[in-house]
Amino acid sequence: MQRRKFLRTAGVGAAAAAAAGTVAAPAIAQSAPELNWRMTSSFPKSLDTLYGGAEYFAKFVAEATDNKFQIRTFAAGEIVPGLQVLDAVQNGTVEMGQTACYYFFGKDPTFALATVVPFGLNTRQMNAWYNNGGGEQLFNDFFKTYNVVGMIAGNTTAQMGGWFRKEIKTLEDLKGLKMRIAGLAGDVMAKLGVVPQQIAGGDIYPALEKGTVDAAEWVGPYDDAKLGFVKVAPYYYYPGWWEGNAALHMMINQDKFNALPKSYQAVLRGAAAASNIWVTGKYDADNPGALRSLIANGAKLQPFSQQILEASFVAANDVYAGLAAKNANFKKIYDSQMAFRKDGVLWFRVAENTYDNFMARQSAANKL
């Protein structure tokens, strides 16, 4: 009797399990749909760290979803030009894009604060403000008005001051100079007499070669070497005071992002965080050797004079005061970022800079 009862119960249990399996499978499938997205980048494939960050992001997403969520990456110009990424994502031409937000300074100067502004945060301060100081929420409130969601997904770290066809010793040498320079830095340079030009990365070399511009800033030694600027503009200046960091963003169409399962939204955030670490680390690993190579190939490494740095700092503050007075979005985010900068720089003076400056002196003395 007990044996027959057990077999009947076991049979019911097996049938229930089988039925549960048939019900559960569609639910799982719905929570992990197969998707194919397109990502357009502002950068050419030749820049294997900038564009490589897009590829790294897509690979992370695919692996984290057992290849159910596929993102195809397209370099600048393959779908839209590099400076039209925001438009393409906003209007749904593509689901997402990789870019530097300050390219869209002309739409609203607030975009520049998402990447970097002259004499702004350094790389670690930017990550801290964005992730722990309220920056992400401030920016996604702003991005929402453009129908996009933004995620930091890389940083070029502190940049170089660019390539010049002639030596720059004084403020007078800047007057009338045509320079490729992006974002708010162009407005600051304009106060010093420079004529700023916004040119996408792949178009800078021919502009320098033909003399369409007299100078150009891009990123730093590793990427600058790939673009060959040393061949046409030998004077290589530092520091790039307009880019103490340069945060890269993944922009995602708001409607497409909201339609994703929560798990896929989390995967995208994880991919962005991983890409941020990868891109930033790769620049720190590759820039030292690239700088040595550039100098060996004729780059004339020069610091900006203290006169130029001081005048640039004053000009930057003048630009910010004007923008904050007439743009509420800019003022709100700028005030938050600069309050964070004040405390961040004070803290770095105590520990980070003291240590770094000591090690720099050891390097100068050939003791490392």
Task: Give the pLDDT confidence of 18-29 residue by residue, as tens digits.
Answer: 444 444 444 445
Instruction: Write the pLDDT tens digit of every residue in 340-352.
Output: 999 999 999 999 9
Predicted confidence at residue 201, as pLDDT, reads 75
- Could you count the other beta carbons within 10 Å of the beta carbon of residue 110? 24
Instruction: Write the pLDDT tens digit of every residue in 279-315.
Output: 999 999 999 999 999 999 999 999 999 999 999 999 9
Instruction: Write the pLDDT tens digit of every residue in 127-162.
Output: 999 999 999 999 999 999 999 999 999 999 999 999
Residue 17: is its pLDDT beyond 60?
A: no
Average pLDDT over residues 221-247: 96
Query: Distance (Å, rounded) from C-alpha 246 to C-alpha 301?
Result: 22
Count of all residues that appear for the chain in the document: 368
Predicted confidence at residue 265, as pLDDT, reads 98
Predicted confidence at residue 365, as pLDDT, reads 97
pTM of the model: 0.89
Average pLDDT over residues 59-85: 97
* Domains of the chain with bracketed CATH: 33-156+245-284 (3.40.190.170)
Long-range contacts of 312-318 (CB under 8 A, 24+ apart): 312/118, 312/119, 312/188, 312/189, 312/192, 312/241, 312/242, 313/118, 313/119, 313/241, 315/188, 315/191, 315/192, 316/117, 316/118, 316/119, 316/184, 316/188, 318/191
Instruction: Write the pLDDT tens digit of every residue in 159-187.
Output: 999 999 999 999 999 999 999 997 789 99
